[in-house]
Amino acid sequence: MAITSANQLELLQTAEAVAREKMIDPALVVEAMEESLARAAKSRYGSEMDIQVSIDRKTGRATFTRVRTVVEDEELENYQAELTVETAKPYFEAPKPNQNAVWLRDGQPLTDFSGAPQVGDQFTEEVPPVEMGRIAAQSAKQVILQKVREAERDRQFEEFKDRAGTIINGVVKREEYGNVIVDIGRGEGILRRNEKIGRESYRNGDRIRCYIKDVRRETRGPQIFLSRTAPEFMAELFKMEVPEIYDGIIEIKAVARDPGSRAKIAVISYDGSIDPVGACVGMRGSRVQAVVNELQGEKIDIIPWNEDMPTFLVNALQPAEVSKVVLDEDAERIEVVVPDEQLSLAIGRRGQNVRLASQLTGLDIDIMTEEEESARRQKEFEERTQLFMDTLDLDEFFAQLLVAEGFTTLEEVAYVEVDELLVIDGVDEDTAAELQTRAREFLDEQARKALDNARELGAEDSLIEFEGLTPQMIEVLAKDGVKTLEDFATCADWELAGGWTTVDGERVKDDGLLEPFDMSLEEAQHLVMTARVLLGWVDPTELEAEAEGEEAVEAEEEQA
């Protein structure tokens, strides 16, 4: 095929037809044609030449141009596409005789030729169009198809990337290895086997509603991942059914699902006259029933949100009744005490109720009966009583008095204000002083033994003299191989204070070396950073700047 003999407007007509069919920009198709023609021209004139093709967007005329770029002498590699300053001068000095030759500088035609050519200038010269043989035409066709496919993929990605997090309706096309391929209009989505509710099965042509969970750009084209089990799917369904949620009057704060079986959703109303639970349920349950039907009969508990976590948890454990809640914010754990007859209801079938409540609140929940809690408290009382009897040489009655007044450790007895001991029946100032003396002597003896053990284990003075660590802490560290200040400075805060990590969706406890001494994560971080500053590993001014930055951020958040 010869470009010169072809109808020039046919190129533009072809580009527009392909663009309409694929719903992409016609300019992208024209660019693909230009690239394919340039590739064919290189096969005719030589692959080392830099041949560029420009198709006039109005007339369809294709212009073939040879481009040569001016480079430094030592950078000259391709004589067909590059010129040195010296070899460019003859073309630079007399470009006028050749009307098809143009010099470009910074992409603009050059009009002043009084100087010399510069590195980066380009000498362009129009060359005759090429005859496209069968192979060249086939190659050009492949280039155009490839470009069109890439443009189509980019269009799909741009269209669907902003729709991630929304619900889309589609038609089932086919099923592959348990995964459902869904036609969603201008693209295809995949509903993986683990994203289907229960044992859902679909046939070709079935209509399906899904949540767009993720859109990824991949080499084979954009991958649109759908879900029907995501908690967000339920939240979006409620937004569609409840106008107050769509308008922002009611907000969904948290969702927990056991797909196909049961779910809990926490809502809050920003209008005191609107009941969030009632609005979500709807007249005679019409709104919630629409969501239930879409989710294959999944039972939904709608729960009022509360900023007070214990109160929110009591709501989340419905329909079970709760007698008592003890929250441990540091460990992100919560203990719930329920009446004996409510235990099975609180736990739910196969632990479903407590598991969903845990997901909803983001806390680990320990459930015990009133009888179990009473037995545990009795055991703790006996252990503390025995501690005071053994260490302070007290009789059982007196030790029980201390525990009953809230004393749990020897440190509390040793260093509490004397007035707090005098409130105990039968304790005068002399007795209180004697109690504190015995407690301090015992603690001092324990500290001395711990320090001696630590030295025997190899603990060095740099660690022993470090402020913030007790002898007992140093002994524990030395047993674990932390014997110098340098060893201590290399520790992570969670190694000292402990923490929680998520493994396979379950929270797992990491025990810290100094966790038995009630060391918090913040205290551990402060001690480690202090050690690093003393060793010169960290610049204290950087720490101060970082701390000021964090304070500024906290202040902004409080104002917001």
pLDDT in tens, 337-347: 888 888 888 88
Quickly state the pLDDT bin for 144 (edges 50, 70, 90). low
Q: What is the mean pLDDT of residues 532-544?
A: 81
- Beta strand pairing status for 223-227 and 188-191? parallel
Q: What is the mean pLDDT of residues 532-539?
A: 86
| Predicted pLDDT at 45 | 76
Poorest-pLDDT segment among 30-34, 92-96, 496-500: 92-96
Could you report the per-residue pLDDT of 185-223, keeping only the tens digit for each? 777 888 888 888 877 778 888 888 898 888 887 767 678
Sequence-ordered list of residues with C-beta below 8 angstroms from that of 208, at least 6 positions apart, any chain: 169, 170, 171, 172, 180, 182, 191, 202
The mean pLDDT of the chain is 80
Report domain 5-139's class.
alpha beta
Poorest-pLDDT segment among 51-60, 240-249, 281-290: 51-60
Sequence-ordered list of residues with C-beta below 8 angstroms from that of 280, at least 6 positions apart, any chain: 238, 242, 245, 250, 265, 267, 287, 288, 302
| Tokens 């008592």, located at residue | 324
Q: What is the mean pLDDT of residues 141-148?
A: 67
**Does 253 score more than 50 pLDDT?**
yes
Does this model's pTM top 0.75?
no
Record the tokens describing residue 251, joined without a space. Answer: 């907000």
Categorise residue 60: left if φ over 0, alpha if ψ from -120 to 50, beta otherwise.
left
Quickly state the pLDDT bin for 328 (edges 50, 70, 90). low
| Predicted pLDDT at 3 | 42
**Does 138 score more than 70 pLDDT?**
no
**Which of the two residues, 486 and 92, has the higher pLDDT score?**
486
Contact 276, 285 (CB under 8 A): no
Asked if the 162-227 domain carries CATH number 3.90.1640.30, the reply is no
**Does 504 score more than 70 pLDDT?**
no
Record the tokens describing residue 343, joined without a space. Answer: 């235990």
Cβ–Cβ contacts within 10 Å for residue 332, how many?
14
Quickly state the pLDDT bin for 5 (edges 50, 70, 90). very low
- Beta strand pairing status for 101-105 and 167-176? unpaired
Q: What is the mean pLDDT of residues 141-159?
A: 70
- Topology match between the domains 5-139 and 162-227: no
**Does 393 score more than 90 pLDDT?**
no
Q: What is the mean pLDDT of residues 268-280?
A: 90
Question: Phi and psi for 535 in degrees, rounded to 5?
Answer: -85, -5
One-letter amino acid at 69 equals T
**pLDDT over 70 for what percent of the chain?**
84
Quickly state the pLDDT bin for 476 (edges 50, 70, 90). very high
**DSSP element (H, E) containing 327:** strand 324-328
Quickly state the pLDDT bin for 76 (edges 50, 70, 90). confident
Helices (H), 53-179: 85-93, 134-161
Q: What is the mean pLDDT of residues 518-533?
A: 87
Separation in Å, CA 513 to CA 131, 253, 327, 474, 492? 80, 37, 23, 10, 11
Contact 525, 493 (CB under 8 A): yes
**Does 41 score more than 70 pLDDT?**
yes
Could you report the per-residue pLDDT of 355-389, keeping only the tens digit for each? 888 888 887 788 888 888 888 888 988 988 898 88
Quickly state the pLDDT bin for 557 (edges 50, 70, 90). low
**Does 6 score more than 50 pLDDT?**
no
User: Domain boundaries in the chain?
Assistant: 5-139, 162-227, 458-559
Contact 81, 69 (CB under 8 A): yes
| Predicted pLDDT at 400 | 87
